[in-house]
Structure 1
Amino acid sequence: LKVIAIDERLRVIFEDNVHFDKDLPEFKTQGGVYIHSDRLTVTSPVLMWVKALDMILEKMKSSGFNFSQVRALSGAGQQHGSVYWKKGSIQILKNASSDLPLHHSLKGCFSISNSPIWMDSSTASQCSALEEAVGGAQHLSSITGSRAYERFTGNQIAKIYSQNPEVYKQTERISLVSSFAASLFLGTYAPIDYSDGSGMNLLQIWEKVWSKSCLDACAPGLEERLGCPVPSHSVLGTISPYYSQRYGFSPDCKVVAFTGDNPASLAGMRLQEGDIAISLGTSDTLFLWIQEPTPALEGHILCNPVDSQTYMALLCFKNGSLMRERIRDDCASGSWDEFSKALSSTVAGNNGNLGFYFDVMEITPEAVGIHRFNRDNQKVPGFPKEVEIRALIEGQFIAKRIHAEKLGYKVCKYDEQL
């Protein structure tokens, strides 16, 4: 859990963090999560998140941070994760005593103590059922922006309803991780925002309302448990009196809708229409601002957190930095300098030589293996080292462009934009 405070000129005046494993060892998580024995189910303890919030605010307080100067707060949470509030919890949240840390007051408030999170892949049967119920994967994508994904919240809710109908019955509200965190500050249930809500397989991204056919396919009485979604930049209200009394926040401090980590990245990088952001990590991620998206079977279309009338596209490529590092090790003696020199020694276009490099099963597209083609489009077993390096880099970036265009991104020359 991280906190950052900025002033009106966007200067950072405070930052700190709580590390789940190290600072909250009593929860016995690894990387902040529990990986269950089936290796598919992955959860996080809800009270750990609440206790982390208590801990970080106490750290700020003891450092002398002046909470009374905070005019507004907002936040971002990991996408897809969900929190299940037990019947009657809203009263406990509203009336939490400022004499106690919040995790003490809320310890009996959750019908499920361990929240399913984005790493979970235990809902394959629910995904198949949802796609079937709405007329196929492409139709689901056309409604909600994505085909059915195991980590998406609707499928997680469907699993909980089918396996634990009593637990579902005891649940009065379902929050995303982002709206859950906003609820803690608001002292009442915060609505889900359009952008994070687009990662659930439940929201009609065009009308920005819950899809009745998707809700019905997942669980009964789901709409009332989710509440009405709101634009991602909505001011939800003022901070709960709990925080004024315990930490000295101004009662006028505004709480702005929290959103998902991916939408927050688009907003934080100040992308505009036509911009692309590429995150080169273990997995490579592409963020795009799109006016007229065309949802496909690969990638995701989400409502734009900055402008509710437009959209953002998200593409994830599993073979990212580990793939580049392997080719660096094989072809450049493990040196990025040598890798760069080899890349510079070959011409753009690589004389027609191209490669697709998937050490592990790729998400976009679903493929595995190393596939090399020469200028005559014939498959070849290998390339010289410098050709291999350029084939890897160009292949990865051409794939990113092709899949972005499939989702509706329009590539134009710089002077065409002017």
Structure 2
Amino acid sequence: MTDNGPLYLGFDLSTQQLKAIVIQSDLSIVSSAKVDFDQDFGAKYKIKKGVLVNEQEGEVFAPVALWLESLDLVLQRLQEQNTPLNCIKGISGSCQQHGSVYWSHEAEQLLGGLTADKSLVDQLAGAFSHPFAPNWQDHSTQHECDKFEETMGTAERLAQATGSAAHHRFTGTQIMRLRHKLPQMYTSTSRISLVSSFLASLFLGSIAPMDISDVCGMNLWDIPSNTWSSPLLDLASGGSPDDLRAKLGEVRQDGGGSMGNVSSYFVNKYNFSPDCGVAPFTGDNPATILALPLRPLDAIVSLGTSTTFLMSTPVYKPDPSYHFFNHPTTPGQYMFMLCYKNGGLAREKVRDVLPSSESGDVWENFNKHALETAPLDVRKEGDRAKLGLYFYLPEIVPNIKAGTWRYTCDANSGEGLEEVKEPWAKETDARAIIESQALSMRLRSQKLVTAPREGLPAQPGRVYLVGGGSLNPAITRVLGMCWGADGVYKLDVGECVRVGGCV
């Protein structure tokens, strides 16, 4: 391990893990560590896949204390590897998007008074007005989503202002619902952070501002006007927009540079240098964009728990069927994003219905049937094409309830679409779910990409695959067939989001 600086520390606070990576200026990795929430703290916090679920109300949320304990633990694990933390010159990171953390009126004082002889979770017990952070899988806010779109007139007008139509997981609707459900908690809240600004706050020792890209995942930021939306603040706050504006704070416009030096807690406890800077933290999807700067028309597809399709573009063309965000570091650039709840988890549901293989590889039968099934299961002339929709959770695009729907149509013309009342062979679903996800991405991105030649539908240029699903050869092969791009490349960048956070 080198101790020749400077070094940079990046974090990835995802749904199920907290990962840390230390890199050099040339992006080579010096060391890394992780905390798996279920393995390390599952028994204590009663979580499953990193979250708690209230099925009755559609709530999905995480204990904030879990993240505090995980931060101390991941830094301890870096120390155990003899990582030269004193050589780190800058800290940043990426976090799951749309989650929100609610600080008490004592938070600033507690953050500024941390001492090395006690843990974060012990010292910050009184720093939160609400012990839980809503997770992106939450689907409890349909009423609030309806009100957001009614306030702006239509879903199209809401998307024009905020970059997105109203979505369950977006922070503005979550704030509105929690204000109704827990009015005393809302009154007791001094500041509201996104998960990214929450993690940055711990390192700064004071509440950090939200960054210019992650703030676009709230349905509260007016992107063309570059300010908070007054009518939406009024709605979410119940007629007290100035109070909510104060809780949200100012948004940091500059995605680069330092917000200040690291808190003395980390200097005294983990031997960080006092002049180590803390840069803005952002969401996991903006961080992925930063990890691989894209050429025009190229795309990144992250095949994780959810599935996301990302492009960088100088053109602002919002639409209710997808998302636009400000670019995290480059003014005048935007980030186009499609996000599906039913990504990796949905593929796992289809996988788990199939018989287990003798080898013990849980994906073996899924992959076998995905590759052996013909495209759209059209094996011979006259066969009808098979198409499926697999939404085990209420989906984002389209905004639709949970359910599984199967259809057939004419394989040549696409006409005569008919719903299949009885499920077809479960082996067929392995290919059908991959095709369904890929074709949805291609269809919904067509306004921003071009046709390779006349008579063909629009398609992205090059597609770069990251995330756990990118390691699966059957998934990547079928995706490539569906997209018809100039090239589909698997990036062996297990540290992609953390590197993006460092960058």
Bin the TM-score by the shorter chain. 0.7 to 0.9
Which range is displaced more, 51-60 or 230-239? 230-239
Between the aligned partners of 1:352 and 1:394, the Cα distance in structure 2 is 17
Between the aligned partners of 1:320 and 1:96, the Cα distance in structure 2 is 40
Secondary structure at the residue paired with 1:278? strand
Residues 335 and 195 from structure 1, CA distance in 2 versus in 1: closer, same or farther, beyond 3 angstroms? closer
In the TM superposition, residue 129 of structure 1 has moved relative to its aligned partner by 1.5
Secondary structure at the residue paired with 2:445? helix
After TM superposition, the structure 1 = structure 2 runs for residues 205-216 of structure 1, keeping only pairs within 5 Å, are 205-216=223-234
In the TM superposition, residue 203 of structure 1 has moved relative to its aligned partner by 0.8
Give 5+ residue unaligned stretches, structure 1: none
Secondary structure at the residue paired with 1:237? coil
Residues 142 and 334 from structure 1, CA distance in 2 versus in 1: closer, same or farther, beyond 3 angstroms? same
Match of 2:387 in 1: 356
1:226 matched to 2:248? The reply is yes
Match of 2:313 in 1: 290
Match of 1:20 in 2: 37
Which range is displaced more, 67-76 or 287-296? 287-296
Match of 1:379 in 2: 416
In the TM superposition, residue 397 of structure 1 has moved relative to its aligned partner by 4.0
Between the aligned partners of 2:118 and 2:289, the Cα distance in structure 1 is 37
Match of 2:174 in 1: 156
Give the TM-score normalised by the residue count of structure 2: 0.73
The partner residue of 2:56 within 27, 38, 60 is 38
Match of 1:49 in 2: 67
Between the aligned partners of 1:132 and 1:9, the Cα distance in structure 2 is 49
- Give a deviation string over 1:119-166, Cα, whole Å, max 9, x none: 211111111112112222211111111111111111111112122222
In the TM superposition, residue 351 of structure 1 has moved relative to its aligned partner by 11
Residues 338 and 250 from structure 1, CA distance in 2 versus in 1: closer, same or farther, beyond 3 angstroms? same
Between the aligned partners of 2:203 and 2:73, the Cα distance in structure 1 is 14
In the TM superposition, residue 81 of structure 1 has moved relative to its aligned partner by 0.5
Match of 1:403 in 2: 444
* Contact 1:42–1:116 (8 Å) recurs in 2: yes
1:11 matched to 2:50? The reply is no
The partner residue of 1:369 within 394, 399, 405 is 405
In the TM superposition, residue 340 of structure 1 has moved relative to its aligned partner by 3.9
In the TM superposition, residue 259 of structure 1 has moved relative to its aligned partner by 0.6
Between the aligned partners of 1:149 and 1:379, the Cα distance in structure 2 is 32
Residues 173 and 380 from structure 1, CA distance in 2 versus in 1: closer, same or farther, beyond 3 angstroms? closer
In the TM superposition, residue 76 of structure 1 has moved relative to its aligned partner by 0.8
The partner residue of 1:165 within 183, 205, 212 is 183
- Give a deviation string over 1:105-130, Cα, whole Å, max 9, x none: 10111000111121211111111112
- Give a deviation string over 1:61-94, Cα, whole Å, max 9, x none: 2332221100111011111111111013101101
Tell me how large the CA RMSD over aligned residues is. 3.4
1:126 matched to 2:144? The reply is yes
In the TM superposition, residue 193 of structure 1 has moved relative to its aligned partner by 0.6
Between the aligned partners of 2:120 and 2:55, the Cα distance in structure 1 is 31
Residues 351 and 300 from structure 1, CA distance in 2 versus in 1: closer, same or farther, beyond 3 angstroms? farther
Give the TM-score normalised by the residue count of structure 1: 0.87
Match of 1:67 in 2: 85
In the TM superposition, residue 245 of structure 1 has moved relative to its aligned partner by 1.6
Residues 353 and 312 from structure 1, CA distance in 2 versus in 1: closer, same or farther, beyond 3 angstroms? farther
Matched residues, percent identical? Answer: 34
After TM superposition, the structure 1 = structure 2 runs for residues 236-315 of structure 1, keeping only pairs within 5 Å, are 236-280=259-303, 283-315=306-338
Residues 213 and 247 from structure 1, CA distance in 2 versus in 1: closer, same or farther, beyond 3 angstroms? same
Which range is displaced more, 203-212 or 109-118? 203-212
Secondary structure at the residue paired with 1:236? coil
Residues 396 and 93 from structure 1, CA distance in 2 versus in 1: closer, same or farther, beyond 3 angstroms? closer
The partner residue of 1:200 within 213, 218, 221 is 218
Which range is displaced more, 295-304 or 176-185? 295-304
Give 5+ residue unaligned stretches, structure 2: 1-17, 356-363, 454-460, 462-485, 487-503
In the TM superposition, residue 343 of structure 1 has moved relative to its aligned partner by 5.3
